[in-house]
Structure 1
Amino acid sequence: MVDVRTEISINRPIDVVAHYAADPDHAPQWYDNIKAIEWVTMKPLQLGSKMAFIAYFLGRKLEYVYEVTDYVPGKKLVMTTANGPFPMETTYTWNTENVGVTKMTLQNKGVPTGFSKMVTPFMSFMMKKANKKDLLKIKQILEQNK
């Protein structure tokens, strides 16, 4: 099983961070591996929303559909893959750390199958590295746009 949890402090209020991060249309801007997103269901984001993602990870093109399985605006967003090569659950949580400072947590959990199962420790390491990079990018974007 893969269970990667990464967090960062962003010098922006929780409503700003959560609003930006929970908008799938922003994902290609701050996720290095995500190249495109297309809404399968109608906007806005809500429980049951589905979005198709195209990403590249470890040199492979991945196409998958995420479904929102839990959403508390400004607090938590949970999405699970409805299809794709690697069943995954992605959770964002946001907490106020100090006045105007938000702690954002990004967690990916999944059970690799096939070839992926054999390289789970390596995948966990690479996912953690990618998640740290992505959180630094969202921090940079949000702190520059004050």
Structure 2
Amino acid sequence: MRVDVEVSAHIRAAVEDVAAVAGDPARAPEWYANIHAVRWRTTPPARVGSRMDFQAQFLGRRLAYIYEIVKLEPGRRMVMRTADGPFPMETTYTWEPADGGTLMTLRNQGEPRGFSKVAAPMMVRAMRSAMTKDLDRLAVLVAS
């Protein structure tokens, strides 16, 4: 079962401010509850080809994976893919001006393997919930 989860939130901050925080992978632990650490493998800042090690925990399992930025339109869109790890995943961030703030959309899609494949329906619900809460945390972080 292919996993494809997308959530959006209106954030009361300028696109540049939201994209500056969300588009900096090193800041992910500040607003993603399940991401505990990010370490650059390449020299910052974020650009196409940048690679980072992510340490996370999801559904009680510790995860370690490498993300690579494969598309970047500063202030508009960033796409990262896992280059290694237990669940091949693509994550897309988009930022659009909306009602005096920013509409941010976060999308995760991939093809689970092994245990993840069996647990995919449960994972989709858990991912949607976690991603919604993460965008809420991002909104608070950017507003402060």
Scaled by the length of structure 1, the TM-score of the pair is 0.96
Sequence identity of aligned pairs in percent?
A: 47
1:132 aligns with 2:128: no
1:47 aligns with 2:29: no
Deviation by residue 1:106-142 (Cα, 9 ceiling, x = unmatched): 0000000111111111100000010011000000111
What residue number does 1:105 align with?
105
State the SS of the aligned residue for 2:129: helix
Deviation by residue 1:77-129 (Cα, 9 ceiling, x = unmatched): 00000000000000000000123x10000000000011111111110000001
- State how 1:59-98 maps to structure 2 within 5 Å: 59-98=60-99
- State how 1:16-35 maps to structure 2 within 5 Å: 16-35=17-36
Equivalent position amino acid for 1:98 in 2: D
List gaps (5 residues or longer) in structure 1.
Answer: none
Q: Distance in 1 between matches of 2:119 and 2:39?
A: 29
Q: How far apart are 1:41 and its partner, in Å?
A: 0.6
Q: How far apart are 1:25 and its partner, in Å?
A: 1.4
Q: Distance in 2 between matches of 1:83 and 1:27?
A: 18
Q: Distance in 1 between matches of 2:135 and 2:67?
A: 19
Q: Distance in 1 between matches of 2:47 and 2:41?
A: 13
Q: Distance in 2 between matches of 1:142 and 1:19?
A: 9
List gaps (5 residues or longer) in structure 2.
Answer: none
State the SS of the aligned residue for 1:16: helix
Matched residue count = 143
What residue number does 1:118 align with?
118
Scaled by the length of structure 2, the TM-score of the pair is 0.98
